[in-house]
Homo-oligomer: A and B are copies of this chain.
Amino acid sequence: MHKINFCSGPAVLPPTVYNKAIEAIQNFDHTDQSILELSHRSSSIVSMIQETKLLVKELLAISDEYDVLFLHGGASMQFCMIPMNFLSTSTKAYYTLTGQWASNAFHEAQLLGNADALCSSADSNYNYLPSLQQAYTLDNSAYVHFTSNNTIYGTQWKSYPSFNCPIIVDMSSDLFSKKINVHQFDLIYAGAQKNIGIAGVCMVIIKKSLLEKQNKLIPTMLNYNTHLLHESSFNTPPVFAIYTCNLNLKWLKSIGGVQEIEKINQMKAQLLYAEIERNSLFDCTVAKPEDRSLMNVTFVAKNKEIEIAFKDFCKKNNIVSIDGYRTVGGFRASIYNAMPLQDVQLFVEIMKSFESKI
């Protein structure tokens, strides 16, 4: 039974990722061994990790000024690694508070040093993006931190101001969903389980020169330089999780890369937002179209009765994980790269059919 999985992460991956992951568990790279039992120092695994890194660099057109790391701990571990590495006693970090994950990142920086909010939309449960200037000159700034896409609230930054300090962005839920200019940023990180691979690995794209500003005396595993010097294999890396990224990025390349997927992602989001606005039973939670996420489409029913009835209708139609986050309520359709356009079209038909039946 084909289920349409709108989960915000771990999320659906292309069928080819599942199939090739299974093949690799049976026999990886003609070794007659399972990928699950192979040494991370074996040539097959070292090559696979290297290939994954090159795929990232190719797909996002990243220059050699940057390195790509695959780290343990998820994006949440980055929340503390960033201030540990780059916030000193004499500098300050600036955070844009656009959701719960942004606030969690801010909290860790406050715990470890001096951090301020550059802007916040907490006053309205993060249902909009604060207005920003075109350029900022921030005092004693160690860095400024953004969350590019706010999965819970359905907002997404479409552009960034310029700053007199490094720009660090959590792109956990929209990296590889569209063309970006990586060279605009100093550090990009992303938990893999939304748009890249499975849970258990975090991708970091780091401008090597950023390490010149690094603090001393950082615990080894929390020091970016450790992982840079050891090609993400200082300790045993999460091999299988990295392999799912490899497979997914190969799939992305095969369909034309970020340029092509961006077109499809825009079509999917436009289709869905248009239906929510047209449908008499639902409302978008994010008022301004320019703030809306192309990855997580959040909406609410006109009343509780409709909400309950639509949840039931979704269940009957094999739609899963469509519930909104508990602090927002309503519905959230996460439509990352691996969500096919046809499934979004089908969901729109289901919304229309529900409207006609109620």
Q: How many angstroms from the CA of A343 to the CA of B130 in the assembled complex?
A: 64
Contact present for B1 and A32 (CB under 8 Å):
yes
Contact present for A239 and B198 (CB under 8 Å):
yes
Kindly list chain B residues whose C-beta atoms are within 8 Å of the C-beta of A84.
219
Interface string of A1-45 (1 = CB under 8 A from B): 111010111111100011001100110000111101111101000
Q: How many angstroms from the CA of A193 to the CA of B112 in the assembled complex?
A: 32
Kindly list chain B residues whose C-beta atoms are within 8 Å of the C-beta of A2.
32
Contact present for A37 and B12 (CB under 8 Å):
yes
Kindly list chain B residues whose C-beta atoms are within 8 Å of the C-beta of A11.
37
**Of A71-79, A135-143, A180-188, the one touching chain B:** A71-79
Kindly list chain B residues whose C-beta atoms are within 8 Å of the C-beta of A7.
37-39
Contact present for B72 and A74 (CB under 8 Å):
yes
- Report A191-211 residues with CB < 8 Å from chain B CB: 191, 193, 198-201
Min Cβ gap A315→B in Å is 13
Q: How many angstroms from the CA of A220 to the CA of B78 in the assembled complex?
A: 11
Do A220 and B80 form a contact, CB below 8 Å, given A3-B32, A37-B7, A200-B240? Answer: yes
Partner of A221, one of B21, B76, B240: B76
In the complex, A127 has a CB within 8 A of chain B: no
In the complex, A293 has a CB within 8 A of chain B: no
Min Cβ gap A219→B in Å is 4
How many chain A residues touch the partner (CB < 8 A)? 63
Interface string of A218-250 (1 = CB under 8 A from B): 011110000000000011111111001000000
Copies of this chain: 2
Min Cβ gap A76→B in Å is 4
Kindly list chain B residues whose C-beta atoms are within 8 Å of the C-beta of A76.
220-221, 234-235
Min Cβ gap A109→B in Å is 10
Q: Select from chain B the residue with minimum beta-carbon distance to A73.
A: B72
Q: How many angstroms from the CA of A82 to the CA of B36 in the assembled complex?
A: 28
In the complex, A108 has a CB within 8 A of chain B: yes
In the complex, A55 has a CB within 8 A of chain B: no
Contact present for A40 and B112 (CB under 8 Å):
no
In the complex, A358 has a CB within 8 A of chain B: no
Q: How many angstroms from the CA of A320 to the CA of B222 in the assembled complex?
A: 33
Min Cβ gap A83→B in Å is 9
A-B contact pairs, 15 of them (CB 8 A): A9-B236, A10-B38, A10-B236, A18-B25, A42-B321, A72-B74, A75-B235, A76-B234, A77-B221, A108-B220, A111-B217, A112-B219, A199-B239, A200-B237, A200-B239
What would 11 more interface pairs be, CB under 8 Å, given A10-B40, A21-B36, A72-B73?
A3-B31, A5-B37, A18-B25, A21-B25, A75-B235, A76-B221, A76-B235, A80-B221, A80-B222, A108-B220, A111-B219
